[in-house]
Amino acid sequence: MPTPCCAAILTTAAVDMTAPQHESASQLYLASTSPRRRELLNQIGVRHEVVAVVIDENPIAGERADNYVIRLAQAKAVAGKLACRGKTNLPVLGADTAVVVDDMILGKPANEAEGVAMLSRLAGRSHIVHTAVAIVRDEIHHYLLSTSTVSFRHITETEALAYWNSGEPADKAGGYAVQGLGAIFIARLEGSYSGVMGLPLYETAQLLRRCGITLLSPNNK
């Protein structure tokens, strides 16, 4: 089992005061600026604010991909908790996603060549998507891991270039978005759609329950 990351990996962290404020009191902080993770929390009615954190995301030599995402999810949650120290006692949620093929973690493509190469590598075969979600409240740490298998159809070079030019792949792990145009390449998905998107809602709901946040409750309005 991976050990929780310590605060030494924190580079910077700050509460994002530009995030929209909610009419009701927030239930937690989200240690991510990902609009997709915010969208998924909103989908299940979780009132939240954003804590922007930056951590060292370099993998450790020999580290397995599942342990990598667990470590980073924990690190983000801990960094967010440190940023909020003295402000609130709300739990802080962190998450991290990795697309894995041939035991290699595919990051975010830096340019057209990388984006097309990633898509070509994924085309016509299956790959793994790990997403870990972690929550920190007081000194209590919890995490859960979601693992899904995604199968792509064959993709032509013309399609790969057109997809890159759409602008969608540039900031996505693995160079595609399951919730966007990238969905047209997916022949089969076994596991969690929301996990592939970046925040597995089944696992997230379990962690929220451990912190006293019950969804579908009369008080959760």
Domain positions in the chain: 7-210
Mark 99-133 as b/e (b = at least 16 C-beta within 10 Å). Answer: bbbeeebbbebeeeebbbebbebbbeeebbbbbbb
Contact criterion met (CB below 8 Å) for 127 and 100: yes
Q: Which of 25, 26, 73, 28 is nearest to 53 (CA)?
A: 73
pLDDT at 220: 57
- The residue with tokens 């397995």 is 64
Is 96 part of the annotated catalytic residue set?
yes
Q: Would you say domain 7-210 falls under CATH 3.30.230.70?
A: no
* pLDDT tens, the chain, 221 aa long: 444 443 333 333 334 433 444 445 889 999 999 999 999 999 999 999 999 999 999 999 999 999 999 999 999 999 999 998 877 789 999 999 999 999 999 999 999 999 999 999 999 999 999 999 999 988 789 999 999 999 999 999 999 999 999 999 998 999 999 999 999 999 999 999 999 999 999 999 999 999 888 887 666 55
The pLDDT of residue 221 is 56
- pLDDT for 218 equals 61
pLDDT of residue 195: 98
| pLDDT at residue 219, as a whole number | 60
Q: Do the Cβ atoms of 24 and 48 come closer than 8 Å? A: no
What pTM was computed for the model?
0.86
Q: In angstroms, what CA-CA distances link 96 with 124, 191, 202, 219? A: 26, 16, 15, 30
What is the pLDDT at residue 117? 96
Q: Which of 56, 96, 103, 138 is catalytic?
A: 96
